[in-house]
């Protein structure tokens, strides 16, 4: 038997050891947390904005419409962002760079990457003035170039060319690899750009694919999906949008390949976390992948407003003498334009305009 004095010393020793071990476990847990990367697919309606956080570094891909700059700035601040190491404007459409001027003014910025294509819009001109005002320059993306974001490696996959008929195909496409997990961010890249990536033999395989052009049928070609082989898809689109995004054809392709997907119009902001091996998701809106049995039942049982499924009969525009139907802002529309439901326009024999590419 030990004396009381010895027993007290032994007890103190065991308490000290337990305390040290506890600190060690906390330290290990803290290091594990720091190695967790997060991809925030921010709900900005019919627009795009993605925050990627890795090892204390931050990257913003697109910044929604102009009216989104305040909400995006607040969201970044809430995530503890003080500096954006990389800001990528995938292409100069309003719904991708609209809020970027405000974001650039609010944060310290490392590098800005944008494709070599211009726009005549005030939004684009204001963005260039903001960049100039910060004494920064724009870096032109070069396919194959890579950069590190914390512990992740990002590689530029597109655009390959310097002359496209559709501005969407100028979209900067990024493939990010962290451990054994990979992510693809497509911007609004369409079939032309997807075909170029495949023809160059680039490794496009990814676990998570942010679908091009809000789930439009002009993107996510059969060949591209088969090459990427994503387990999960993310579609950024607005409730009841006039374009009918995401298009049924695209959703059919995802379902045929058993690709589980989220939609910002239903799921809200989607946060994807990866430890380099495992991937998990949290959402601010409806929980669960849209094409799983459980979520389908939630939607069909009326637990949501019927229109919250993101589909609304698209309205297109025709003229008395024309044979095509158009989007409201189509440049080929002349004279008085007549609003009409898509199904009615098709039933009357009108064909989709090849310029504005309305839903089909």
Q: What per-residue confidence (pLDDT) applies to 15? A: 57
Residue entry with tokens 């451990």: 179
Flag whether 126 is in a domain.
yes
Region 136-154: what's the mean pLDDT?
Answer: 97
Query: Are 280 and 321 within one domain?
Result: no
- DSSP conformation class of 140: P
Flag whether 4 is in a domain.
no
337: helix, strand or coil: coil
Residue 282: pLDDT over 60: yes
Task: Tell me phi and psi for residue 313, to 5 degrees.
Answer: -50, 115
Task: Tell me phi and psi for residue 358, to 5 degrees.
Answer: -70, 165
Q: What per-residue confidence (pLDDT) applies to 354? A: 79
Say which CATH number the domain at 63 has: 3.60.15.10
Other CB atoms within 10 Å distance of the CB of residue 289: 20
Flag whether 20 is in a domain.
no
Query: Are 65 and 185 within one domain?
Result: yes
Q: What per-residue confidence (pLDDT) applies to 303? A: 44
Query: Are 222 and 323 within one domain?
Result: no
Q: What per-residue confidence (pLDDT) applies to 128? A: 97
| Among the listed residues 342, 4, 39, the one whose alpha carbon sits nearest the alpha carbon of residue 178 | 39
Q: Number of structural domains, the chain?
A: 2
Higher pLDDT, 149 or 29: 149
Region 133-138: what's the mean pLDDT?
Answer: 95
What pLDDT, in 10s, does the model give residues 104-120? 999 999 999 999 999 99
Range of the domain at 61: 36-300
Query: Are 324 and 232 within one domain?
Result: no
Q: What per-residue confidence (pLDDT) applies to 312? A: 46
Query: Are 285 and 337 within one domain?
Result: no
Query: Are 127 and 245 within one domain?
Result: yes
Flag whether 51 is in a domain.
yes
Flag whether 282 is in a domain.
yes
Region 54-74: what's the mean pLDDT?
Answer: 96
Flag whether 3 is in a domain.
no
What pLDDT, in 10s, does the model give residues 189-225? 999 999 999 999 999 999 999 999 999 999 999 999 9
Percent of the chain with pLDDT over 90: 67
Q: What per-residue confidence (pLDDT) applies to 210? A: 98
Query: Are 337 and 252 within one domain?
Result: no
> Distances in Å between the alpha carbon of 242 and those of 3, 91, 96, 322, 327?
84, 21, 17, 21, 8
Percent of the chain with pLDDT over 70: 84
What pLDDT, in 10s, does the model give residues 228-237? 999 999 999 9
Output the pTM of the full model. Answer: 0.76
Residue 335: pLDDT over 60: yes
């Amino acid at each position: 038997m030990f004396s009381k004095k010895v027993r007290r010393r032994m007890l103190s020793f065991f308490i000290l050891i337990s305390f040290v071990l506890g600190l060690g476990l906390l330290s290990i847990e803290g290091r594990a947390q720091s190695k967790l990367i997060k991809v925030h697919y921010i709900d900005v309606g019919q627009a795009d904005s993605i925050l990627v956080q890795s090892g204390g570094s931050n990257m913003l891909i697109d910044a929604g419409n102009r009216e989104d700059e305040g909400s995006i700035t607040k969201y970044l601040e809430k995530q503890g962002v003080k500096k954006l190491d990389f800001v990528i404007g995938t292409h100069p459409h309003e719904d991708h760079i609209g809020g970027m001027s405000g974001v650039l003014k609010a944060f310290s910025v490392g590098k800005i990457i944008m494709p070599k294509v211009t726009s005549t819009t005030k939004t684009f001109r204001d963005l260039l003035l903001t960049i100039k005002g910060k004494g920064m320059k724009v870096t032109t993306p070069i396919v194959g170039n890579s950069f590190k974001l914390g512990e992740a490696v990002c590689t530029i996959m597109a655009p390959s060319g310097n002359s496209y008929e559709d501005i969407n195909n100028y979209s900067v496409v990024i493939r990010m690899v962290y451990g054994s997990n990979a992510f693809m961010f497509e911007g609004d890249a369409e079939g032309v750009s997807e075909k170029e990536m495949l023809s160059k033999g680039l490794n496009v395989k990814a676990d998570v694919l942010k679908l091009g052009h809000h789930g439009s049928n002009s993107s996510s070609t059969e060949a591209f999906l088969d090459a990427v082989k994503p387990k999960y898809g993310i579609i950024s689109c607005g409730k009841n949008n006039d374009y009918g995004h995401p298009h049924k054809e695209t959703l059919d392709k995802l379902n045929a390949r058993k690709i589980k997907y989220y939609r910002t119009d239903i799921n809200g902001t989607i946060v994807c976390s990866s430890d380099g091996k495992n991937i998990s998701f949290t959402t601010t809106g409806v929980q669960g992948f849209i094409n799983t049995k459980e979520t389908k039942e939630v939607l069909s049982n009326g637990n949501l407003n019927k229109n919250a499924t993101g589909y609304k009969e698209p309205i297109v525009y025709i003229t008395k003498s024309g044979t095509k139907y158009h989007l409201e802002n189509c440049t080929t529309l002349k004279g008085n334009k007549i609003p009409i439901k898509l199904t009615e326009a098709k039933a009357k024999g009108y064909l989709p305009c090849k310029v504005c590419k309305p839903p089909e």
